[in-house]
Structure 1
Amino acid sequence: MEKKLKKLNSIHSLEELNQMLLDASLNKKVLQQIEKDFSQLDLSLNIESPEIISLMQNHIEQLLHRDYARLMNLLYRIDLSESKMKALKEYDPTMPERDVITFLIIQREMQKVMFRELYKDGF
Structure 2
Amino acid sequence: MQLPKTFERLIEDATQLNLYKKLIVQLNKDFLLANIDLDFHEDVLPSSLKLILHETVFKLIQEKFTEYLNLLYIIDVAENKVKALNGDDTLKLSEDVMFLILQREWQKVWFKHTYS
| Same fold, judged at TM 0.5 (above) | yes
TM-score by length of 2: 0.81
Give, in whole Å, the separation in 2 of the partners of 1:72 and 1:29: 24
Q: Which amino acid aligns with 1:80?
A: V
2:5 matched to which residue of 1? 12
Matched, 1:70 2:63: no
Q: Which amino acid aligns with 2:37?
A: L
Matched, 1:103 2:99: yes
Question: How many pairs does the alignment contain?
Answer: 109
Q: CA deviation at 1:22?
A: 3.2
Aligned residue for 1:25, secondary structure, equals: coil
Q: Which amino acid aligns with 1:103?
A: F
Structure 1, 38-47 or 51-60: larger mean CA deviation: 38-47
Give me the identity figure in percent: 28
Q: CA deviation at 1:112?
A: 0.6
- Larger Rg computed on CA atoms: 1
TM-score by length of 1: 0.76
Give, in whole Å, the separation in 1 of the partners of 2:9 and 2:64: 29
Matched, 1:24 2:17: yes
Matched, 1:35 2:28: yes
Q: CA deviation at 1:14?
A: 2.3
Give, in whole Å, the separation in 2 of the partners of 1:98 and 1:53: 11
The answer as to whether partners of 1:45 and 1:56 remain within 8 angstroms in 2 is no
* CA distance 1:86–1:24, change in 2 (3 Å): farther
Q: CA deviation at 1:71?
A: 0.4
Compute the RMSD of aligned alpha carbons: 2.1
Q: CA deviation at 1:27?
A: 1.1
The answer as to whether partners of 1:17 and 1:103 remain within 8 angstroms in 2 is no
Aligned residue for 1:45, secondary structure, equals: coil
Q: CA deviation at 1:18?
A: 2.9
1:49 matched to which residue of 2? 44
